[in-house]
Amino acid sequence: MTVRLSTEEIEEALRGLDGWKTVDGREAIEKSFKFANFNQAFAFMTRVALKAEKMDHHPEWFNVYSRVDVTLATHDVEGLSSKDVALATFMNKIAS
């Protein structure tokens, strides 16, 4: 069962997630990733897509050329869950 994170749990998680912050007016987290070019940006998106599909937990994201803006939230709990933290951690790992 997916559990909604408390404000304290979100703050704790964000301390370990470089570059991620909460979204104004919405219980979600966001980060803008910058790459060298479109090839690298889409390679990142492809790795994330495979991971997301496997987790059955998908990002909201915007891409223009070398930039990928990602927003994560968990619909089922109308907030954030450990799935968002796991996917954000994965993204940071493969983007670094």
In the complex, the residues that contact a copy of itself under the rule CB under 8 A are 38-39, 42, 45-46, 49, 52-53, 58-65
**Nearer to a copy of itself by C-beta: 42 or 90?**
42
Tokens 């109308």 found at: 78
Give min distance, CB of 78 to a copy of itself, in A: 16
**Nearer to a copy of itself by C-beta: 17 or 49?**
49
**Nearer to a copy of itself by C-beta: 12 or 55?**
55
Please state, in angstroms and rounded to a whole number, the distance separating the CA atoms of residues 61 and 53.
Answer: 14
Please state, in angstroms and rounded to a whole number, the distance separating the CA atoms of residues 18 and 14.
Answer: 7
Give min distance, CB of 45 to a copy of itself, in A: 8
Give min distance, CB of 62 to a copy of itself, in A: 5
